Every structure is written in C-alpha cells, then in structure tokens.
Structure 1
Amino acid sequence: MTSSFPLPAHPLLATAVELAPRLSARSAEIETARRLPEDLVAELNRAGIFRMMIPETYGGLELHPALSFQVIEALSRADGATGWCAMIGSATALTAAWLPEPVGRAIFSAPDVITGGVAAPLGRAERVEGGHRLTGRWAWASGSQHCHWLVGGALVTEGGKPRMVREGVPETRLFFLPARDVTLHDTWFASGLCGTGSGDMEVKDLFVPDDHGFSFFAPPHVARPLYGFPFGLLGLGIPAVALGIARRAIDELTTLARQKTVVVERRLLAARPAVQEAVAEAEAEVRASRAFVLETIHALHDEATRGPVSVRGRADLRLAMTHATRSSARAVDRMYEAAGGPAVFHTSALQRCFRDVHTLTQHAMVARPTLELTGGILLGFDPPTPVL
C-alpha cells in the first residue's frame, strides 16, 4: 500500500519489498534460532537498512521518517522479528546526532556498523575524572548479537548519590559501549517476536569516556529536522512493525478464506458474513491508524524544519504510535478468530502474527498509560515533558 503523503521514490523501499519473499520463507528458521541468521543480517546491512537514520554528514541516508517507517513496515509484513531488529538497529543509530562530532563520525562512518541497546536508564554511572564508571544490566537488548556498539541508559551518580539536574529531576545519560566490552545473557524465551534475540546485556564498572555519553535533553550536534523529535523517533518503529504484522495477518486470512471450505456449511470460509465483516473492520482499522501516524510524522517533520517541536506535537506523535499499535493488535485478533482452528498451529503465519503483535503491545512506549499522558495534554494539563 502506498502512502497518502507521497514522497520521492527511494530504492531502499523497493529493496525491502524485494526482500520480503525470502524473509517470509525463513520465518520458521528465524523463530527457532531466536535471533536473525548472520547471512540475513549481512544482507540487510549491505542494503543500507541500518543506515536509514544516520546523518548524511557521517555517510548515512538520513531518510525522511515517513520513508523509514514504510521500510520497516514492509520488512515486518514479511517477518515481524526481522522488522523489529531492523527498527532497533536503524532507530538506535539516530543517536549519532547527539554524540560529539569526532566520536559520531568515527563510529558511524564505518559502512557496516550496526548499533543497538536499551535507552531505559537501568544502569548506574558514577561520575569520575574524564568520564563515568558504568554498571548495569538491561533487558530487551534486541539484535545485540549482531551489533558492533550498544547503548545503555543510566542514572548518573556522584559520590554514590544521584546527580540532580534540578530539584526532583536526576540526571540520566546514554552511553555508547563497544560490543566487545558487554556481556550478553541468553534470556530471550518469549511467546512472540522470538527471533529478535532480545536477551539481557550487562557491564560491570566499565569506564566510559565523556565523549561516549550524551543526554537527549541537550541539543543534538547535528541540527537537522530528523533529529528534532528524538523520543518519538525511538519508538516510531513500533507501530511500523505492528502495522506490517497486521497487514500480513489480513493477507493470510484472505488467502485462507478463499481456499478453506467450512465442511458443515459446504461453502468457503470467505462466504461467511462474520468473516467478511471481520476483514472489513480490520482493513478499516489498519488503514485509518496508518494514515494517522503518517499524517503526524509529516506534520512533525515540517514543524522540525522551522524550530523545536511543540509538546502538543510530541503528544500527537505518541498518541498516533500507541493507537496504531493497539489497532493493529485488534485487527490481528479479528483475523486470528476468523480463521478458526488452522490458526492455532505453529505452522500458521497467523499464529505467529498473533503472538508477535501482542508482544509489541507490552512495550512501554505504546502501553495504555501513554493514553493517560496524551489525554491529559489534550485536556490542558501540563505533562512531565521528559516523558515525551
């Protein structure tokens, strides 16, 4: 499906669509391995998937966010785990814009670099001369097995006590860590997105130089529109993955319904009014929520070309992200239920869609509390803006 907001054609989107049949054919292999195969990662890397959000000045593609969104969506339609890992690798790389220029260039000018990690401040970073001593363990480090650099978020301490930015607000920073210095724990035994390798990562008392850490509350060193709304971009890929999975579920149900005969009724599943209604509702829900996300992406990108993005704009993006992800889950549920018995087997792509999309809905960036946050802003309350 094409966007309602046309952008110039880009070969990367065509490549993602061309890759789709091969990705789909390997879904069972990916799920069993609980990580992406090395040759598949290499193919995604050669295509430039992990360079979508790297600044042009460092040799990246710096694509319009709506285009990156559609690339991730296309990959996810083929295989949810692949789309998720592509999203994590490309979205993490946008942090290049916040690193000091020499470090950002040194890391991201490498044409094959892949980054990942966890932005949540689950670590502790003790301030020392020239940098920080970092200790922490982070869950959900998706795709970490194929990364060269990993990002870990941490609470900054000084003398063992939290360092405060202002009253009631402790300092948090993100730190770039060479993958060789990080211990990976194989903890990813999940119901969905099984092939993402989202285990734990850990470091203990690791020295990180000052120039390998940054705060999103500071302005980026690369002042371009793409980097005008960072928190939104870090989670923007979640609804892209969800919508891709939902589109795959509609595809799968449509194919099944045209082939499966309901024995008792002596007619195709597609002839059932309940199935027809389910397909119509799922189609409307997916297309409407997708349009809301793309409309908001374009509006915020335009706003970022003129200056800082407003709190209301950030809230709109978070609302669109959450709505699209949860709408996708409802669409998948309808397709799963309409399929009947065949959908319960692991050989069914619908079964994988069901498990994958409901794993997505558990992510904090699109969980139900985000609706409380955005709803409060719509009602005129002042939010804790760092959350956005």
Structure 2
Amino acid sequence: MPTAHHPFEAYEEHPLVERARELEPMIRAAADEIEVCGSVTPDVIDAITDRGLFRMNIPARSYGEQAHPLVVFHAIEALSQADASTAWVVMIASEVSLLAAWLPNAVLSQMIGGEEPGGPRCRIVGSSRVMTTAQSDVSGYRLSGRLNFVSGVEHATHIVATFVDFDDQVRFALLPQRAGKVINTWDAMGLQGTGSHDWELKDAFVQQGHTWAALDQPAADGPQWRVPDRSLVAWIANAGHAVGTALGALDDLATAASESTTGDSSALREREPFRLDFARAQAEVAAARAFVQEAWTRAWPSVEAGEPDASQLARCRLANVHAVHACADAVERLFRASGTNAARRSWTLERRWRDLQTARQHGAALEWNFDAGARPMLGLPARRAR
C-alpha cells in the first residue's frame, strides 16, 4: 500500500517501474531503427520480456505480476519516455492480457508456460474487433477471418481473437500466434514502430476450453477483474502512454531549446513566448498525471474491498481520457512554439507529435469516455464501454 508520507511513492518506485526505467537508454538507442523498420527490435523485445513487463496483467496464480493499475501506468509511462511505439506494444499486451484471466488457471498456465524458470515469457496481444467467423466442431470452433490493428503481432506468442458463436454471442479465444498468418498492413502517420498488422486465420481449430463468452465471469480472483467495465482498468495504460510520451517530448525539447532557429540567431529558450508555452505544457502534463494518480488512489480501496464505487471509477475514466487529450494538446503546443526546427526528425518532437495524434484515435480517447465520466456526477446511471 502507498505510504502516508508520499501517497504515490510505492507505485512510482515499484520494481516493475524500475525495470522499465532501466531500459530507457537501450530503447532510446533503438528508437530510430524501430521507426524505420516498423517494428520493435528483437533485442528490445527480449529485454522487456526478461523483466516481466509483458505479464504485468497476467494473474498471479498463473505466474504473472498482477500489478496494481498505477504500477502499470508508471511502467508504461517510463517506456514511453524512451519511445512511444515500444511502449504502445507493451501497453496493448498489458490490456489484452487482462482478458486471459477469463480462462481457468490450469488452462492459462499450461498455454503460456507458467512454470518456466523466471516466469512465463508470453506476449499476449489481440484485437477486440469482431473480424472472425466460426464453424462448429466436435470439441470447439474452427475460426477464419482477419483481425486488424494487432499491435506487436510479429513478436507475440499468443493472440486473443474475437468472434461470434452460433448463439450470436461475442466470444474470445486464446490461440498461439503461429496458428495464423501475419499480413503486413501497418502504414500510419504515427506509432510507426508498433507493427500493428493484420493477423489472418484460415480454418484454425480452437478448443472450447480455450474460449470464453464476453458475458462470462473471469476465472481469476483479483481486484483488476472486479471492476464491472473491463476497459477501465485496461485503459489506464493509455494514460501512462500519453503522459510518458509528453514527458519525453518535454525532456528532449529542454535540451534542443539551446539551439538557434531559422530566421533568428537566439536560442529558443531565450525567447519569452517559447518559455510561456513550454511552461504551460509542463503544467498541463503534470496536472494530467496527478489527476490519474489521485483518482485511482481514491477509487482502488473500494475495488479491493469488493464493492467498487461507481462514482470514483467514473473519475478514473475521466482521468484516463483527459490524460490522452491533455498530453496530445500539450505536445502540439510545443510543436507550434518551436519554429521550423520542430519539423526536423532529428529533434524527435515531430515524432512525439505524430505518435500522440495517432494514440488519441484509440477507443480509450473517444468522446464517450468523457460522457461516461460525467454521468454519475450528474445523477445519471453509469455507462459501460461501447
């Protein structure tokens, strides 16, 4: 639990967060290659796997970390300061891994190699888009179709696929990545290094016991799975991604601001208009970060007690979505304030701007999240994820 001296210290200094920070030099050094190649480099993937960061939301009884949401937030934040694409791949894995807890412990542990020395080296990714068709089989389903926007699919060990069964129920299935084929489709303005390609299945068999219905109760027993709206716990990682990417932009720009710009021999930092925008951006990002910390610290005890407070959780959703937009807006402010040099790839600011503009297209940043945050404050019933 957090200490009375510093409410957030236990989360910011958690071993998983420290491991993420240790990787910053390595990830920064690989960031240009990741951007150009469109995929996180194998050595970075291995280093992240070695440190258990791909299993942050795997249940503890399946040899995962089952980390507190604020630990996940700060770990993703730390990775994002180094490179937004790398952090996005880990973020998606953390979010999709939450779904694996719907499988019985014995099944999940066996599938992901739970008893491997040092813990499972699984990397579970997937897509919530219902893009797969199912045919009946004696003991399961045969799946065909494509999932798109499957970030990190090239390096994944397992995929969560979404399909509709014969009772028109949405179901999920956990399959080995090798059961399908990666189709190279990712070509976007930002988050270019995420390798968010399609994954295609052709008559792939999946056992009934490796699937679960969207309306089923999770097999895992932990606070992460007691929140009625499963997207809420997942999407704190999006907030961490946005905050970390913005902090990285601020750090990079603080160094670059000593340079002169086209049309003016003075350095950026010597100009008052730039300093004002830099200060506003710092404050906006810090405020967004603090809102996430405060909202989740207040809400989580009720979840741990088994009686989630809907109004407190609504504030968590509001904090999540606000962080994504506030940080994207702050980096746009920096980009506009930095003159012609901001467009140079060597500054990295343009990459941070593109990455955040792409990140805000995710479901975690859609407008309905603001509405969901406001409803309990106005005496209206809570609304779950769309």
Look up the match of 2:238. Answer: 238
> Unpaired segments of 5 or more residues in structure 1?
164-170
Question: TM-score normalized by structure 2?
Answer: 0.90
Look up the match of 2:3. Answer: none
1:363, distance to aligned residue in structure 2 (A): 0.8
Structure 2 residue corresponding to 1:153, chosen from 149, 158, 162: 162
Look up the match of 1:251. Answer: 251
Query: Aligned partner of 1:6: which letter?
Result: E
Query: Aligned partner of 1:226: which letter?
Result: Q
Matched, 1:135 2:144: yes
Task: Determine if contact 2:231/2:385 at 8 Å carries over to the other structure.
Answer: no
Q: 1:228 to 1:180 in 2, by over 3 A?
A: same
Count of residues in correspondence between the two structures: 373
1:86, distance to aligned residue in structure 2 (A): 1.2
Look up the match of 1:202. Answer: 200
1:304, distance to aligned residue in structure 2 (A): 1.4
Look up the match of 1:88. Answer: 92
Query: Aligned partner of 1:47: which letter?
Result: R
Query: Aligned partner of 1:41: which letter?
Result: I
Query: Aligned partner of 2:108: which letter?
Result: G
1:119, distance to aligned residue in structure 2 (A): 2.1
Query: Aligned partner of 1:204: which letter?
Result: K
Query: Aligned partner of 1:60: which letter?
Result: G
Q: SS of 2:128's equivalent?
A: strand
Task: Determine if contact 1:4/1:291 at 8 Å carries over to the other structure.
Answer: no
Q: SS of 2:173's equivalent?
A: strand
Matched, 1:72 2:107: no
What is the distance in 2 between the residues matched to 1:125 and 1:318? 34
1:318, distance to aligned residue in structure 2 (A): 2.1
Question: TM-score normalized by structure 1?
Answer: 0.90
1:131, distance to aligned residue in structure 2 (A): 2.4
Task: Determine if contact 2:317/2:372 at 8 Å carries over to the other structure.
Answer: no
Greater mean deviation of Cα atoms: 241-250 or 131-140 = 131-140
Q: SS of 2:190's equivalent?
A: coil
Greater mean deviation of Cα atoms: 331-340 or 72-81 = 331-340
Query: Aligned partner of 2:26: which letter?
Result: R
Q: SS of 1:35's equivalent?
A: coil
1:128, distance to aligned residue in structure 2 (A): 4.8
Matched, 1:215 2:218: no
Query: Aligned partner of 1:89: which letter?
Result: A
Look up the match of 2:127. Answer: 118
Query: Aligned partner of 1:355: which letter?
Result: R
What is the distance in 2 between the residues matched to 1:116 and 1:193? 16
Query: Aligned partner of 2:252: which letter?
Result: E
Query: Aligned partner of 1:138: which letter?
Result: L
Greater mean deviation of Cα atoms: 298-307 or 287-296 = 298-307
What is the distance in 2 between the residues matched to 1:310 and 1:203? 41
Look up the match of 1:6. Answer: 9
1:250, distance to aligned residue in structure 2 (A): 1.0
Task: Determine if contact 1:311/1:385 at 8 Å carries over to the other structure.
Answer: no
- Tell me the alpha carbon deviations over residues 125-182 of structure 1, each in whole angstroms, 9 at most, x when there is no partner: 3455432332331211000111111001222234xxxx2xxxxxxx212111111111
What is the distance in 2 between the residues matched to 1:224 and 1:147? 25
Structure 1 residue corresponding to 2:53, chosen from 49, 53, 57: 49
Query: Aligned partner of 1:249: which letter?
Result: A
1:319, distance to aligned residue in structure 2 (A): 1.6
Task: Determine if contact 1:121/1:173 at 8 Å carries over to the other structure.
Answer: no
Q: 1:322 to 1:21 in 2, by over 3 A?
A: same
Q: 1:361 to 1:386 in 2, by over 3 A?
A: closer
1:377, distance to aligned residue in structure 2 (A): 4.2
1:383, distance to aligned residue in structure 2 (A): 4.9
1:195, distance to aligned residue in structure 2 (A): 0.4
Look up the match of 1:363. Answer: 362
- Tell me the alpha carbon deviations over residues 334-367 of structure 1, each in whole angstroms, 9 at most, x when there is no partner: 1111221111122221011011000001112212
Q: SS of 1:135's equivalent?
A: strand
What is the distance in 1 between the residues matched to 2:296 and 2:144? 36
Q: SS of 2:121's equivalent?
A: coil
Q: SS of 1:66's equivalent?
A: helix
Q: 1:374 to 1:29 in 2, by over 3 A?
A: same
Query: Aligned partner of 1:175: which letter?
Result: A
Q: SS of 1:120's equivalent?
A: coil
List aligned pairs for 1:296-307, cutoff 5 A.
296-307=295-306
What is the distance in 2 between the residues matched to 1:381 and 1:122? 33
What is the distance in 1 between the residues matched to 2:214 and 2:232? 12
What is the distance in 1 between the residues matched to 2:384 and 2:122? 32
1:266, distance to aligned residue in structure 2 (A): 4.8
1:384, distance to aligned residue in structure 2 (A): 4.6
What is the distance in 2 between the residues matched to 1:178 and 1:23? 27
Look up the match of 1:352. Answer: 351
Q: 1:385 to 1:277 in 2, by over 3 A?
A: same
What is the distance in 2 between the residues matched to 1:263 and 1:237? 38
Look up the match of 1:59. Answer: 63
> Unpaired segments of 5 or more residues in structure 2?
1-5
Look up the match of 1:332. Answer: 331
List aligned pairs for 1:166-315, cutoff 5 A.
171-229=169-227, 230-257=230-257, 259-261=258-260, 266-315=265-314
Task: Determine if contact 2:61/2:105 at 8 Å carries over to the other structure.
Answer: no
